[in-house]
Amino acid sequence: MANTAPAARPRVPNFSSGPCAKRPGWNLKALSDAPLGRSHRAKIGKDKLKLAIDLTREVLEVPADYRIGIVPASDTGAVEMALWSLLGARGVDMLSWESFGAGWVTDVVKQLKLTDVRTFDAPYGELPNLKKVDTKNRDVVFTWNGTTSGVRVPDADWIAEDREGLTICDATSAAFAQKLDWPKLDVVTYSWQKVLGGEGAHGVIVLSPRAVERLTTYKPAWPLPKIFRLTSGGKLIEGIFSGETINTPSMLCVEDCIDGLEWAKKIGGLPALLKKVDANARVVAKFVRENDWIDFLAVKPKTRSNTSVCLKFTDPAVTALAPEAQAAFAKQVVSIIEKAGAGYDLGHYRDAPPGLRIWCGATVQARDLKALMPWIAYAFAEAKASLGKKAA
C-alpha cells in the first residue's frame, strides 16, 4: 500500500530551536516604533532598553532585588561574562549533559584554567547525579534545559538553601517556558531568540544580591575584556541594569523583544506562557505514545524538555544501521518534510544522537504541531522504504 502524503500542512512550519518562531500574528509593522538611526545612548534609546528590562522583570517574575542587564553575544556572551567575572573565588562544580554544558566545562578548565574543578557529566538523554553536587560549599554551573539533548533539571530542590557558593544557570531554553526557582539561582542567563521568538545577538543576565556581592568584593586573577566587565572601581556598573548597554545594541532587536514581552503580558504573563508550552509538548508526547518507532531522547519523563523536544528513531531497521547511516536516515526524514514545506529546521544538533528536534516554545501554535506530526510519520515511512530498496 502506497504511503500517502498528508493533505494539511502547518500554517507556520517554523520549528527551529533558535532563532525560534515569531509570536503569533507578528509582522514587521510591530517594530515600527523602533528608534532606528538614533543613538542607543539618547534618551529614546535608553528608555527603550529600560522598558525591555522592566517588562522582563514583570513577565519573567524576577525578584525585585535581582538585577537585569542586556549584554552582547546572545546567551553565550551572558554565560561567558558570568564565568569570567565570578569564578575562581572558590571551587566549582560543573554539570554537563549536552553540547553547551560541555562547552562551559571546556572554557573553565582550558581557558580560565581553574584547578579546583569537579565535572559531573552524563550522556545525551540523561542527567548527572545531582545529589553528588556540592551546592553548599562550591560554586555550581549548570544548564537548566539542555537545548541539544531535550533534557532538563526537573526542579531546583537539589540546590542547598544555605549555600555559600553561587549557582550560575544557563536558562536560555527554559526562561519563559519553565518555572525557575529564583531563590536557588544567583546568575541566570538567556537570549531573546528562544521562547520569546526574538532576534539573535543579544543576551540577558540576571544577578541575585549574592552575585552582586561577589562581583564587588572579588577580583579575578585574569584580565577582563571590556565586553565582560560588570564592575568599575570595585562597584557595580549600574548603567548596565538601567538601559546603558556595554556596546551598541540593535534597537530593532530591542523593539522586537519589547513586542514579544508585551504579547506575553497580553496573553496572561508567565502562567499563560508555561501553560502554552506544556500544551505544545503534549502534542508531541501523544504522537510518541501512538508510534512505537520513535521515542524521546530523554530517558526519564520528569527530565523531558517541553521546549527543545528531542526524539530518536527506535525502529530496529534504523537502530541496526551504523551511526553514520543513522544520521543520514534522520537527515533524509528532515529533508522530506522540508521539501514538502511542512516543517523546517527539525534536524538534530550536530553533536547530538541522530533524530529530530522540535521546538515547542510559546510562540509555536499547537495546531501547527498537530499538523506536523502526520508529516513526520509520512517522512519516516518514505525513508524506511528507501532503506528496503537499498537492501534489495
Alpha-carbon span 391 to 10, nearest angstrom: 34
Average pLDDT of 322-349?
Answer: 98
H or E stretch covering 56: helix 43-60
Q: Is residue 4 part of a domain?
A: no
Final residue belonging to a domain, choices 210, 238, 265: 265
Binned at pLDDT 50, 70 and 90, residue 391 comes out as low
The share of the chain scoring above pLDDT 70, in percent, equals: 99
DSSP 14: B
Please indicate, yes or no, whether residues 249 and 285 belong to a single structural domain of this protein: no
Q: Is residue 236 part of a domain?
A: yes
Please indicate, yes or no, whether residues 103 and 198 belong to a single structural domain of this protein: yes
Q: Are 343 and 385 in contact (CB under 8 A)?
A: no
Final residue belonging to a domain, choices 212, 245, 265: 265
Average pLDDT of 166-184?
Answer: 98
- Which residues form the domain of 50? 28-265
Average pLDDT of 264-291?
Answer: 98
Q: Is residue 19 part of a domain?
A: no
Please indicate, yes or no, whether residues 260 and 307 belong to a single structural domain of this protein: no
Q: Is residue 23 part of a domain?
A: no
Binned at pLDDT 50, 70 and 90, residue 75 comes out as very high
Average pLDDT of 171-189?
Answer: 98
Closest CA to 332 of 286, 340, 3, 391: 340
Please indicate, yes or no, whether residues 326 and 244 belong to a single structural domain of this protein: no
Out of 52-66, 140-154, 376-390, which region has the weakest mean confidence (pLDDT)? 376-390
| The pLDDT of residue 1 is above 70 | no
Binned at pLDDT 50, 70 and 90, residue 324 comes out as very high
Average pLDDT of 55-66?
Answer: 98
As a 3-state breakdown, the chain gives helix, strand, coil percent values, each rounded to 5, of: 40, 15, 45
Average pLDDT of 39-55?
Answer: 97
Please indicate, yes or no, whether residues 121 and 219 belong to a single structural domain of this protein: yes
- Domain with residue 370: its CATH number is 3.90.1150.10
Final residue belonging to a domain, choices 225, 249, 265: 265
- Segment 150-166, tens digit of pLDDT: 999 999 999 999 999 99
Which pairing describes strands 145-146 and 151-152: parallel, antiparallel, or unpaired? antiparallel
Q: Is residue 2 part of a domain?
A: no
| The pLDDT of residue 392 is above 70 | no
CB neighbours of residue 56 within 10 Å: 24
Rounded to the nearest integer, the mean pLDDT of the chain is 97
Please indicate, yes or no, whether residues 103 and 170 belong to a single structural domain of this protein: yes
Q: Are 133 and 120 in contact (CB under 8 A)?
A: yes
Please indicate, yes or no, whether residues 101 and 159 belong to a single structural domain of this protein: yes
- Segment 206-249, tens digit of pLDDT: 999 999 999 999 999 999 999 999 999 999 999 999 999 999 99
Average pLDDT of 334-362?
Answer: 97
Please indicate, yes or no, whether residues 282 and 374 belong to a single structural domain of this protein: yes
Q: Are 333 and 383 in contact (CB under 8 A)?
A: yes
Please give the pLDDT value at position 43: 97
Alpha-carbon span 172 to 321, nearest angstrom: 34
- Domain with residue 254: its CATH number is 3.40.640.10
Q: Is residue 44 part of a domain?
A: yes
Cis peptide before 301 (omega within 30 of 0): no
Please indicate, yes or no, whether residues 211 and 285 belong to a single structural domain of this protein: no
Binned at pLDDT 50, 70 and 90, residue 2 comes out as confident
> Bridge partners of 95?
120
Structural domain count, the chain: 2
Please give the pLDDT value at position 249: 96
Q: Is residue 296 part of a domain?
A: yes
Q: Is residue 276 part of a domain?
A: yes
* 345, three cell numbers: 529546521
Please indicate, yes or no, whether residues 292 and 180 belong to a single structural domain of this protein: no
Type of residue found at 247 = N
Please indicate, yes or no, whether residues 233 and 285 belong to a single structural domain of this protein: no
| The pLDDT of residue 388 is above 90 | no
Please indicate, yes or no, whether residues 249 and 317 belong to a single structural domain of this protein: no
Q: How far is CA 4 from CA 7, 8, 381, in A?
A: 9, 12, 10
Please give the pLDDT value at position 189: 98
